Amino acid sequence: MTVTSAVTPTIESMAIDGVPKELFIGGRWLPATSGATLDVLDPSTGSVLCAVADASPEDGKAALDAAVAAQDGWAATSPRERGEILRRGYQALMDRQDELALVMTLEMGKPLPESRGEVAYAAEFLRWFGEEAVRIDGGYAISPDGRSRFLVMRQPVGPSLLITPWNFPMAMGGRKIGPAIAAGCTMVIKPAGQTPLSMLALSEVLREAGLPDGVLNTITTSRSGAVMEPLIRDGRARKLSFTGSTEVGRRLLEQCSEQVMRTSMELGGNAPFVVFEDADMEAAVDGALLAKMRNGGEACTAANRYYVHESIADEFAQRLADKMAAQVVGRGVDDGVTVGPLIDQAALDKVNELVGDAVDHGAKVVVGGRSGDGDGYFYQPTVVTNVSESAQIRRTEIFGPVAPISTFTDEDEVIREANDTEFGLVSYVYTQDLSRALRVCERLETGMIGLNQGIVSNPAAPFGGVKASGLGREGGKVGIDEFLEVKYVAVPTPY
């Protein structure tokens, strides 16, 4: 493992200076009414990057007021107009990709190439939903008894509340803002307090792209619950779209039940990665690395449990360990770095505890297994084998660069183990046997499957989970449905 040194502060501070630090309400950048601010830290050094406005519940209400006031006018705009704004937003993000990637790396820690990838990923959601805006259709049908006609129209849900996590600070916003704009909904978005800058930058990009005042309102706060709960209970917001932990998601679902509010929930995962004895070994190891190390393991889609057929497990573990050992850990802004820091001390403590517990339950560390050097929250890319079913790491979302490997001998046994979790976001399967591939895909209880592929995310595909991993789908053709209501009109037969 290598820990590299810091780079020129000037480029970094220029990028940070270019991002608005206030609340975006009704088309204007405003300080928090109390004047309070919230520090944003660089997780690779622990130092303060800047401060942003710290919204109070009153500021939250002002944001919802603005969204409600803009709703009717926005819903009346033409789909083409909404699509064109998204298209311009896409282009502006791509034009500013490097500068925005630097901001993202500074606040979140991921290496610059990954941040560039995320800016493009976020932009692609705007482009995709800009294209979908003009394809919101309805239906016309004759009732089975022929006595009436059915008209079906799809209309915007209405003012929406959007809450996003720190691990993909811009893409999780693009995945919600894109379809909300396309559908004709106004919104209040609250990014995670640890990574507000990417969302503030995205908000300014959309303002410059011509988004009318009040359609998008962005609030940053250190008091998420105190600010968002009143908005959920207010009665004027008609939708909550949340991406984050299952624990917080459950709490928000309870709050939403009072108003019977529409919800989309993109929650936690515990992805199994299953390698059968007939798998292409090289492809499986490459996929295993990608499924684990995208975003440094801090992804809901991260492979969390590896099940490898016992006849190939030693070779698989060694080859994956070799690739993990070749990773370069350091500040995300430095050349050649492939793994940045974890988000904070709590995340680092959690990973240390999970690996320690696995070892206490008989696991063997093949590579890594400890915190990294330097001031930030670094953890070494790690492979552990002989992981017992009773180890905590098998049940807990690791959110770090640790690959725990267990073995299996039988297809039924591995499917049972893969499904033995409350989560159901994604699984990965490697086999060259087509019948087995289809059989296993049908039996795995997850919303998505990477079949001989270590990455599933794509703006044009329906992303989402089953069980405690969530409700609804983001992206793809169905993504816009999350922001549309279906209305049916009964009409007497014209004859």
Residue among 216, 255, 244, 258 at smallest CA distance from 63:
216
Place of tokens 């720190």: 166
Helix (H) or strand (E) holding 468: none
Could you tell me which stretch among 57-65, 124-132, 159-167, 387-395 binds ligand NAP (CB under 6 A)?
A: 159-167
Could you tell me which stretch among 145-153, 190-198, 205-213, 288-296 binds ligand NAP (CB under 6 A)?
A: 190-198
Provide the CA 380 distance to its chain's centre, in angstroms: 23
Candidates 166, 377, 378, 428: give the one binding ligand NAP (CB under 6 A).
Answer: 166
DSSP structural state of residue 7: -
Residue 132 is a catalytic residue: no
> Contact between 245 and ligand NAP (CB under 6 A)?
yes
What is the rounded (10 degree) CA torsion for 126, 130, 133, 134? Answer: -170
> Contact between 163 and ligand NAP (CB under 6 A)?
yes
Distance CA 464, CA 470 (A): 7
Could you tell me which stretch among 25-33, 105-113, 158-166, 330-338 binds ligand NAP (CB under 6 A)?
A: 158-166
Could you tell me which stretch among 47-55, 224-232, 276-284, 334-342 binds ligand NAP (CB under 6 A)?
A: 224-232
Binding to ligand NAP, residues 444-483 (CB under 6 A): 465, 470
Candidates 12, 397, 481, 482: give the one binding ligand NAP (CB under 6 A).
Answer: 397
Candidates 56, 167, 304, 382: give the one binding ligand NAP (CB under 6 A).
Answer: 167
> Contact between 268 and ligand NAP (CB under 6 A)?
yes
Angstrom distances, CA of residue 254 to CA of 18, 100, 158, 232, 247: 39, 36, 20, 10, 11
Catalytic residue among 114, 266, 397, 482: 266
> Contact between 400 and ligand NAP (CB under 6 A)?
no
When the beta carbons of 163 and 366 are compared against ligand NAP, the nearer one is: 163
Residue among 169, 182, 290, 167 at smallest CA distance from 220:
169
> Contact between 165 and ligand NAP (CB under 6 A)?
yes
Q: Checking phi first, is residue 464 left (phi over 0); if not, alpha (psi -120 to 50) or beta? A: left
When the beta carbons of 166 and 316 are compared against ligand NAP, the nearer one is: 166
Contact 401, 374 (CB under 8 A): no
Residue among 40, 51, 38, 115 at smallest CA distance from 331:
115
Q: How far is the CB of 392 from ligand NAP (least distance, A)?
A: 16
Catalytic residue among 300, 397, 474, 482: 300
> Contact between 193 and ligand NAP (CB under 6 A)?
yes
Q: Is 8 exposed, middle or buried (0-12, 13-18, 19+ CB in 10 A)?
A: exposed
Residue nearest to ligand NAP (CB): 244
Helix (H) or strand (E) holding 323: helix 313-325
Residue 107 is a catalytic residue: no
Place of tokens 């610059």: 112
- Binding site residues, ligand NAP, CB under 6 A: 163-168, 172, 190-193, 224-225, 228, 243-245, 248, 251, 266-269, 300, 397, 425, 465, 470
